[in-house]
Amino acid sequence: AQSVTQLDSHVSVSEGTPVLLRCNYSSSYSPSLFWYVQHPNKGLQLLLKYTSAATLVKGINGFEAEFKKSETSFHLTKPSAHMSDAAEYFCVVSYFNKFYFGSGTKLNVKP
Amino acid sequence: SAVISQKPSRDICQRGTSLTIQCQVDSQVTMMFWYRQQPGQSLTLIATANQGSEATYESGFVIDKFPISRPNLTFSTLTVSNMSPEDSSIYLCSVVGDNYGYTFGSGTRLTVV
């Protein structure tokens, strides 16, 4: 069975400080993993994806994620938060092209 | 990436009625999926829309409640039948193409009153 656990439902950081959004996955197969962002009343936007190439994946807007098979983790990071990063972030595992979403992490960025 | 047109973008419906949501893609796609995002929650896969055959439903979803059609490689519909307020959600279609990966539609925001 495929599943994703996002360990924090809410994360609050100050502008200019690092962001860490945690994600652990469970997959019977070599997974494809994604991070999506959803701004309020907006659609889903792909941040980055891992598909068994380099374990450190760079995405848009300065985000990156590292695939750690030994820890079954795919945490999302950004060195310096910006106010525009405030949104909800979803970690997703893909199995035969079907997406299984984590419960989401709401990121709040304080000025 | 593919361009998806999803209609309607939003609707308010009476309980007991049905609503059909359309998903039109600007190119032929291998796979199409339907998702639901209930208020304040994450997305859940409803079913895979199979061209020329019956849709494949995930656990907890049934054809009588969410009939799906996929008459060709660019179009699919999802019907939400006999609606109740618990069906109030955003419904999204997603496609996978051979050349561009995954794309989500902008969603249909459904409110059942």
* CB contact (8 A) between residue A46 and residue B42: no
Provide the pLDDT confidence category of residue B50 given band limits of 50, 70 and 90.
Answer: confident
pLDDT reported for residue A58: 94
Q: Does B45 touch chain A (CB under 8 A)?
A: yes
* CB contact (8 A) between residue B107 and residue A43: yes
Report yes or no: A59 and A44 within 8 Å, Cβ to Cβ: no
CA dist B44 and A87 (Å) reads 19
* CB contact (8 A) between residue A101 and residue B104: no
Report yes or no: B42 and A104 within 8 Å, Cβ to Cβ: yes
pLDDT at B100 over 60: no
* CB contact (8 A) between residue B102 and residue A90: no
The number of C-beta contacts closer than 8 angstroms across A and B is: 37
DSSP assignment letter at A25 = E
Searching chain A, which residue's CA lies closest to the CA of residue B43?
A101
Q: Does B4 touch chain A (CB under 8 A)?
A: no
Q: Does B41 touch chain A (CB under 8 A)?
A: yes
pLDDT (tens digit, 0 to 9) for every residue of chain A, 111 residues total? 678 999 999 999 999 999 999 999 987 777 889 999 999 878 888 899 988 778 899 999 999 999 998 999 999 999 999 999 999 999 999 887 788 899 999 999 999
Which residues in chain A have their CB less than 8 angstroms from residue B43's CB?
44, 90, 99, 101
What beta strand segments (E) does chain B contain? 4-7, 10-13, 19-25, 31-37, 43-49, 56-57, 68-72, 75-80, 89-97, 101-104, 108-112
Nearest CA distance, B3 vs chain A (angstrom): 13
